[in-house]
Structure 1
């Protein structure tokens, strides 16, 4: 065994005959480096050979448990990052049970505002340092109960729709721009199929008795600009890029009654933005 270990380039211990003998006999607890080398050497001698990395990962928590007890048999944080929770064979691992128990999602309904995309206020290491300080000064039970309380939605600066630390002054503008861009894309799609859509939508907007008074006043003011209206009336998918942005907004208002609410980032635009048309799909052809 000592010769096999010495022949490997990845050995950590260069264990002597006596070191290997005492480790295998159990006369004393060997260093991890010795166990590492023995495990890798034996894995290659099995028939068929066993996966060396898998065997090393299997023996490490067993070796740690000798000195640390049951907790030592669990994977370290870095081992979780590198190798996951396990369970690929369909069996629950101690790490999987532990992970389920400590996941706040298993214990409470996390407030939806805390899932909003945001720029973190502090680095992860600083957050961990703060939690460690709180545990040291107030105790683990207090710290964990406070954490769950925060996750339920009662956090410092909580405000409906704008959770503390998640406020992005440009977010509403960005979402509005994204909604406008998607709406224009859908307008072009419909205009290419329904040539009468714009005229029908203008008529429907004028006939809308439920239209907000300020919106109607803005529409009439814009319609008094004859040069702007000339641009609007020639809008087609082919001329879209030739007219002004003001004309785009006018056409948008004529065709789209409402767009929203805005769904979470990451969803396709068709799922993020719900459009209410002044003329439902296909009706302008009738």
Structure 2
């Protein structure tokens, strides 16, 4: 900034600072440091106003999915966002951490090509008031099943104890109890329920999964904000509370 003011004629301090910062970073960080930071991109753009290619312009073309695929038209219409940008970034960071960067990027491109949650024709996800409660219920169910498998692996008698606790629960909704009793009349279904372990979970039917879920979990919710860890998003009330020792 001092040198810009000493030039004859004086140069613009803001533009000169923006020009020098990447050069300064490149000394310590190498080639990657020479690129503009995210905030510098926000403040001063990609460059190229003088008709010359900048490293940022080239990077922008390479990272833009539009350069590699034809983005599905339903993803390009104005819509009401379901979450903030910070929440999306946090969720993607966790996804990359858990699944790996290559998997995450391939899933992102696959999504942009039109195969995404709620992509049924005429009801694109996020653009026609999707049933958010249904999506949250599905996420809660998946987390509950994950926790059920964890507990079944550690507590062999948990299922039998939970069934006894459910039958002794006077606060259980009458319709829920009637549905459970009706399901229990299906002997083939109950045979599957009785053999459920973490090892056999993928071999039994989805109806069996729902039965076991109802036996072990009394309530799950309320659902916390998107972006929180699952253990904080979904509060489980077990029919048999988990002991600290387990």
Q: Give the TM-score normalised by structure 1.
A: 0.45
Q: Could you tell me which residue of structure 2 aligns to residue 13 of structure 1? A: none
Tell which structure's C-alpha radius of gyration is larger: 1
Moved over 6 A (4+): none
1:107-148 per-residue CA deviation (whole Å, 9 max, x = no partner) reads xxxxxxxxxxx9428xxxxxxxxxxxxxxxxxxxxxxxxxxx
Query: Using a 3 Å threshold, how does the CA distance of structure 1 residues 119 and 263 change in structure 2: closer, same or farther?
Result: farther
Could you tell me which residue of structure 1 aligns to residue 11 of structure 2? 39
Distance 2:210 2:16 in 1: 61
Partners of 1:194 and 1:284 within 8 A in 2: no
1:237 equivalent in structure 2: 198
Cross-structure match for 1:224: 185
Q: Deviations over 1:76-114 (max 9, x none)?
A: xx989326xxxxxxxxxxxxxxxxxxxxxxxxxxxxxxx
State the distance in 1 between where 2:244 and 2:211 align.
21
Measured in 1, the distance between the counterparts of 2:245 and 2:157 equals 6
Cα deviations by residue, 1:201-246 (Å, 9 ceiling, x for unpaired): 0000000011111111111101001110000010000000000000
Alignment partner of 1:120 out of 75, 80, 96: 80
Match of 1:186 in 2: 147
1:276 and 2:218 correspond = no
Alignment of 1:1-286 (within 5 A): 38-39=10-11, 53-54=16-17, 81-82=42-43, 119-120=79-80, 168-282=129-243
> Residues 254, 198 of structure 1: CA spacing in aligned structure 2 closer, same or farther, 3 A cutoff?
same
Q: SS where residue 258 of structure 1 aligns?
A: strand
**Residues 199, 283 of structure 1: alpha-carbon distance in 2 compared, 3 angstrom cutoff:** farther
Q: Give 5+ residue unaligned stretches, structure 1.
A: 1-22, 25-34, 44-50, 58-77, 84-117, 122-164
Q: Deviations over 1:21-44 (max 9, x none)?
A: xx95xxxxxxxxxx5xx438xx9x
Residue 56 of structure 1 and its aligned partner are, at CA, apart by 7.2
Q: Which has the higher contact order (CA 8 A, sep 6+)?
A: 2
Q: How far off its partner does 1:283 sit? A: 8.7
Q: What TM-score, normalized to structure 2?
A: 0.52
